[in-house]
Structure 1
């Protein structure tokens, strides 16, 4: 039997488990391999009451400082890096592992050779004896989880290591990069970040003219940091990943245009991007904007504004902020560009 097939057999019991916990750092009657108790979380301050959910009984997410709304979406890493599609975390006590594996062996559906190897590994002392029952309460059996929403990704099949034991307060083996650590939690939280789509304010607002500078800006209330905290309360570890907007890239939607600045990248300053148009500045060059050189005819150009988000995280036992790859998220809006009508007398 292939390693992937073996993994599917062992983890199918827990594939869809979800729980709610009573606070961002509290565990809801969870034991590895079991189910939590559903409840609501009230977050203090000016946040609304929100539920904090857990994936398959391992990782708890606090999304109360995350972006929201119908237009919000995930940031796309600027490189080919992606958060892990699978990871390892506590799943079973010794008794629960026995309850999970023995029926599989007795059914014989996985083949005599594999069943014998598994019995040797977990029962006969090579290297574990009797499911490590003599260590009950001193640690947990760790197994793989697939990150929600990543089930179809090729990376979801990367976690093929056999179920392994980790003593309480010990670090997981260093040769397992997907084992839960504050850094892995930060990466999982990255995948949960949601930011608003970007629609810049424009002046002129409804239609602009050929060769007339169009001003573009984003105010501070549209342009603020968001964060998600991921934790494993059972292990006492957590990481908070924050996305901070730093610039917006203006794509006019046509090559017949000039951006301001020429790079098209408008940096954040004084809590906003660009500068609102003010009366009397029609002939000035905006700090952020575009000048269209040709009419859009009977249609419109699709201006796209893409915000770059600096991503960083802090976590248990980690000094200072740590960087993760930048992310980007944007939106399109229609811009009508008209010819300036000359009047001959």
Structure 2
């Protein structure tokens, strides 16, 4: 019963992780691990700090780590919502332990007798007694690694589909067929996708704060606030890696009421060549149609301001091991709302 096995293993590892994994962390090769800015994805014990919501951490025994130095920064960043029904992987298999480290971890767990004699005896026979593994494959220590599953806590549905017990994979040999979620460069790219953070889309308005019925409101975004961001995911033990890049490509305006017109009519404003969106309002533009903006046709009234929603679409691509040319992943969006008060134009009778 794989699910029961995994539950027992989780309990055992959870009880010992503080005293064992910190001393049993798999050593990452210096030439394969980027300096700093690394965080774990999935299992393992992590410690670190947060700088502008950009987590920097080192995790013991994690299968995949992320480098977020080029991620979005600031007090108001958030994750992308992928287009359609696509989501990053909920779980995967990847190399996690050397033969010696896995032996130390398992033997320490058994010494605690926290999972019961029968379970421990079964595990000893499986990993050390030759059915099928003998002495944790120490004789092949330089020829492969123990693989296990990790989960993406940001996308929990489906995590229990990775319920295979830890298994050995020789270097250069494909993982077994019953581990279809085995890590690949593309899966790493999709894991990195889940860690991408982008800035909110608070647009500049003119008039600012309050506008008038039938008066065009100019909308724009400064180019310095919106630029490509990227996250790199990698397997410390093997050096397999992928970098996922998000590039802003369009802004969609939703006025918050049907009594409004948008410019363009679709409400979708594309980025200019310099990376900005729209054109800042200048004196004398009051009677012109803005290239990106809207006109409210009815006052917001006593019900409070309209909630203008501005959503940026981000084009997603990745490169990595065996994939030097950018390859696309589904687009993502991130939007925020802001209040817009619309007043009636007051006529003056003389």
Deviation digits for residues 274-325 of structure 1, max 9, x if unmatched? 2222232222222211110111124311111011111111011114112112
Moved more, 114-123 or 301-310: 114-123
Q: Aligned equivalents of 1:90 and 1:167: distance in 2?
A: 10
Checking the alignment, whether the CA contact within 8 Å between 1:21 and 1:38 is kept in structure 2 is no
Candidates 111, 115, 118, aligned match of 1:109: 115
Cα offset, 1:249, TM superposition: 1.0
The match for 1:26 among 16, 33, 44 is 33
Which moves more between the two structures, 261-270 or 102-111?
Answer: 102-111
Equivalence for 1:312: 317
State how far apart, in whole Å, the 2-side matches of 1:292 and 1:111 are: 73
Q: Indicate whether 1:68 and 2:73 are aligned.
A: yes
Matched, 1:296 2:300: yes
Does the 8 Å contact 2:234/2:241 carry over to 1? yes
Q: By how many angstroms is 1:111 displaced?
A: 6.4
- When the two chains are superposed, the root-mean-square deviation of aligned CA atoms in Å is 3.3
Alignment check: 8 A CA contact 1:53 1:62 kept:
no
State the distance in 2 between where 1:321 and 1:272 align.
23
State the shift of 1:93 in Å. Answer: 2.6
1:262 matched to 2:268: no
Q: Which runs of 5+ in 1 are unaligned?
A: 29-34, 41-47
1:342 is aligned, of 328, 332, 347, to 347
Alignment pair present for 1:8 and 2:10: yes
What pairs with 1:212-291 in structure 2 (closer than 5 Å)? 212-270=215-273, 271-291=275-295
- Residue 325 of structure 1 pairs with residue 323 of structure 2: no
TM-score (norm 1): 0.83
Q: Secondary structure at the match of 2:187?
A: helix
C-alpha distance in 1 between matches for 2:91 and 2:308: 37
In the alignment, what sits opposite 2:38? none
Shift of 1:183: 1.2
Residues 126 and 165 of structure 1: CA distance in aligned 2, closer, same or farther (over 3 Å): same
Structure 1 residues 78 and 292, CA gap change in structure 2 (3 angstroms): same
Task: Work out whether 1:97 is the aligned partner of 2:95.
Answer: no
Q: Contact conserved, 1:303 with 1:332, CA < 8 A, in 2? A: yes
Deviations 1:130-150 (A, max 9, x none): 221211222111112233555
Which segment is superposed worse, 103-112 or 270-279? Answer: 103-112
- How many residues matched? 328
What's the offset of the Cα at 1:179?
A: 2.1
How far apart in 1 are the matches of 2:222 and 2:310? 14
Moved more, 174-183 or 61-70: 174-183
Instruction: State the distance in 1 between where 2:102 and 2:29 align.
Output: 27
* Corresponding residue of 2:205: 202
TM-score by length of structure 2 reads 0.82
CA shift, 1:64, in A, is 1.1
Q: Is the 8 A contact 1:52 1:60 kept in 2?
A: no
Summarize deviations over 1:114-164 as a string: whole Å, max 9, x none. Answer: 5555344323433322221211222111112233555xx233322211111
